Chains A and B, each alone.
Chain A
């Protein structure tokens, strides 16, 4: 085997330098590659996070339909109401501090749901609230003519009572068992919210129990 000729000191120095230069270039190339990988990977993670945040916001921006999540502005609640059947008159304002009534003791027979043009007996109407109905009352001195017609048009065919009520704190008040909201009129957006949240809802003690087959009050028009 031929022995390579001995390198001179100069040659050896040049070879080492060339080796170093090659190493340095390699390192530079590796660093560049790592930088690109890091930027691309990091960018992808950032984009994914932004996309997910947007997706979550979009999903949650859909209006709430779960009755438990629906919020009614100005909602008043009455807790721990009794639900006994009584044959005597009940003074709901004095006993429960509510006008109009939104639950409590009530008559054995319920009022047939529907639209009334005269005041209905409180004790029978409260029985409807126990069965999951929404009772909409209006101040007959304020809500008349077209305003009354549009309120009547808002009523559902069942599980709703509409009747005039003297001395209301607002033009219209909607009541369900243990819950009440004061409203400006038929177009008050909180009326729809209240109905979606409480109509036949399980917040009443007996939702779906009858609101027909009871008694009619005076002035029932439908």
Chain B
């Protein structure tokens, strides 16, 4: 009987359309949830302070390693040679950590903007305020990193030997460490990344105590 079949057919049709709509909505919804929730867990971007720190601090650390090997060839003084060995091993390992983060974040090792640009970005609100004059940490993008020895200073160190070389090394490395602490503090004021802030706190602590040690070693030689 035709009049009875017709409502049945439209009923099934409606059910099929409703099922399709539900499937489409669930599919789209699931896709949207996956897609939109992805950035929340994503790694730091190439212009982030985390990436900027990881790139610049590698350069900074690598020079500390270079200076440490230079002084080990220029002096027989055990205390300076031990300190230099400590710095070289520590900072090589830390440089490798920073290299690994960038690799893990799928970012180029090459900086995306001039060095130190990340330090010119405003600090996060609510981070521990430091006592130093805010203008003293104002940097210009592209300028040398704080505490980095110039090529001329490294060339001059290589011409020295013995106590003269030790004093020159200690002077350069005290400035180098102070610059490293400044960079680590700049990161702490601008990042909440757990791994990187733990790392930076370690640098502030260890290098601050090494600055005291080196100032004492320098005083003994004056």
Contacts and interface: CB of A to CB of B under 8 A. Distances in A.
Given A200-B99, A201-B109, A157 B59 contact: yes
Contacts of B111: 156
Contacts of B106: 65-68
Interface of B: 14, 17, 21, 24-25, 28, 31-32, 35-36, 45-46, 58-59, 62, 65-66, 69-70, 95-96, 99, 103, 106-112, 115, 151
Interface in A104-138: 132
A52 interface: yes
10 contacts: A48-B25, A52-B31, A52-B35, A66-B106, A66-B107, A158-B59, A158-B62, A208-B96, A210-B62, A213-B69
A45 B99 contact: no
Given A42-B21, A52-B32, A199 B108 contact: yes
B33 to A, nearest CB: 11
A86 interface: no
Nearest to A63: B46
A123 B17 CA distance: 71
B61 to A, nearest CB: 11
Interface SS, A side: loop
Contacts of A48: 25, 28, 32
Contacts of A218: none
A212 B58 CA distance: 14
Contacts of A197: 108
Nearest to A67: B108
Contact of A55 (B25, B35, B96): B35
A164 B17 CA distance: 71
